[in-house]
Amino acid sequence: MSLAMLSVGRTRRIPHLPMVVASVVVSLLCLVPLGFIVWVAIDSGWDTVRQMVFRPRVGELLVNTFLLELVTLPIAIVLSVALAWLTERSTLPLARLWSWLMVAPLAVPAFVHSYAWNGFASSLNGFWGAVLVSVLAYFPFLYLPVAAQLRRLDPTLEDTAASLGQPQLAIFLRVILPQLRLAICGGALLVGLHLLAEYGLFVQMRFDTFATAIVDQFQSVYNGPAANLLGGVLVLLFFLFLGIEGVARGSERYARVGSGAARAPNRWRVPGWSLLLPLIVALLSLGVPIYALGRWLVLGGVGIWRLESIGPALGQTLLLALAGAALTTIAAFPAAWLSVRAPGRLQRVLEACHYYVGALPGVIVALALVTLTVRVALPLYQTIATLLLAYLLMFLPRALVGLRASIAQAPVELERAAMSLGKPPLLAVLTTTMRLAAPGAAASAALVALGIANELTGTLMLAPNGTRTLATRFWAYTSELDFSSAAPYALLMIVLSLPLVALLRLEADRISRS
């Protein structure tokens, strides 16, 4: 059977070749960062690789990275599981309100968290400062899937364990916790990869990681071999973390046949002082940023609202976010359509190419595009086109996930009916499936746009001269220790991020009910 005429039914065939070609082109673009790392290693030669990689500085960065992950992840896991259990499975007062407050820290970009803590406790820096702020900034990525999974658990399993005389602690450890394994592993992987990629938070905490070293090296030497090879080490760490997560996840599955018990989950009684945990977390993760931001806004007064700077930064941020979101959503559509209409081995390979690049640190994507444009396409160096391509690569998975779910809800029979009325295949897809998938596509585009609005590292490395986004203007002022002038930009980023938090929470609720 030809690739252009893959069958989607016995009575009607839809030509898939344009979708396959488009998906292949996007997949080849996605392979650029990985190809860049391999090419740098080969082009540099073994002697250069040995000199740049096997040196004390790289050893220090490795130690910093592993210590950060080994300390931060267990704290974040324990904290998230405890908070999720309190808000979802206990008699905690105002549990619904607390559950929203536990997700709200995602509205504050990580580097704004560190900015707030710098203003609140200037002596807090180094390793332990990095651990504290990392936990407060990223624990919601663990809390969300764990809380959603707790809402889905069948309470009859706990009833059975209780009828066998098991105490509550044993029920939690032997019945509930094993069923949270996949959610914990997935959330921990996401947090771990964010820690590998984060730049602004650790710079402000004065803690060196691979991401900070790569950006510093790039800014001082401009695409020197040291930055490129450090990027190669960071990619190897990325794949190492994927492997560790796969082993930790294991092959066990905790699934049930049917919908389970048709009643609300068991709520365990907790003492009144259990309110202290969510209260302290809310104060540290939300109270400190609000207090610090409000303090700098008051100290700065009206003078810090420089509309001649804030207006262009807000305008450029919105334009880049909208253009990047539209481009990314369009680029993701062929792969999303194939995953629903023509699943198969080729489609899975193409989809994997789309997904992997979104998990790479933004600094690697930016470094790859810098090298590519400098050596192969110099006219594209530091242009809007290159910056938008970087956004496309970094945020492609966000668009793909939402589009795939939306397309799956559009019946294929509508495409066949449109073609039977004489419409060309592509026009039939656009007038039926795309129209029905439009709300999901819009939600996916919004997630991409809000991610772009807060993106820092890639924008710093790739933005053309004169381009100023909210994130880069904020970073410029904080680098000069002008925290008051940075406050309006931080406030605007948080305001733009609030819809993302609401979407994430509502989507988690929807999934837990499905």
Residue 41 clears pLDDT 80, i.e. is over it: no
Q: CA dihedral defined by 120, 125, 131, 136, rounded to 10 degrees?
A: 20
- Same domain? 309 vs 448: yes
What's residue 506's pLDDT?
Answer: 73
Residue 186 clears pLDDT 60, i.e. is over it: yes
Which of 18-32, 90-104, 349-363, 433-447 has the least mean pLDDT? 433-447
In a domain, 182, yes or no: yes
Residue 102 clears pLDDT 80, i.e. is over it: yes
What count of other Cβ atoms lies within 10 Å of the Cβ of residue 39?
Answer: 16
CA distance 343 to 259: 27
pLDDT, tens digit (0-9, with 9 covering 90-100), for 240-272? 877 777 677 665 555 454 444 445 566 777 777
- Same domain? 359 vs 320: yes
CATH (domain of 349): 1.10.3720.10
pLDDT higher at 450 or 4: 450
CA distance 188 to 181: 10
pLDDT, tens digit (0-9, with 9 covering 90-100), for 73-83? 999 999 999 99
pLDDT higher at 88 or 265: 88
Number of domains observed in the structure of the chain: 2
- Same domain? 291 vs 365: no
CA distance 469 to 222: 22
pLDDT higher at 406 or 107: 107
Of the candidates 73, 105, 110, the one whose C-alpha atom is nearest the C-alpha of residue 185 is 73
In a domain, 260, yes or no: no
Q: What is the pTM of this model?
A: 0.78
DSSP 262: S
Q: Where are the alpha helices (DSSP H) in 412-482?
A: 412-420, 425-431, 433-436, 438-453, 457-462, 470-479
Which of 59-68, 109-118, 265-274, 369-378 has the least mean pLDDT? 265-274
Range of the domain at 183: 44-251+275-303+500-514
- Same domain? 186 vs 163: yes
Q: Are 143 and 81 in contact (CB under 8 A)?
A: no
- Same domain? 431 vs 321: yes
What's residue 428's pLDDT?
Answer: 64
In a domain, 488, yes or no: no
The average pLDDT across 46-58 equals 79
What's residue 440's pLDDT?
Answer: 67
pLDDT higher at 140 or 38: 140
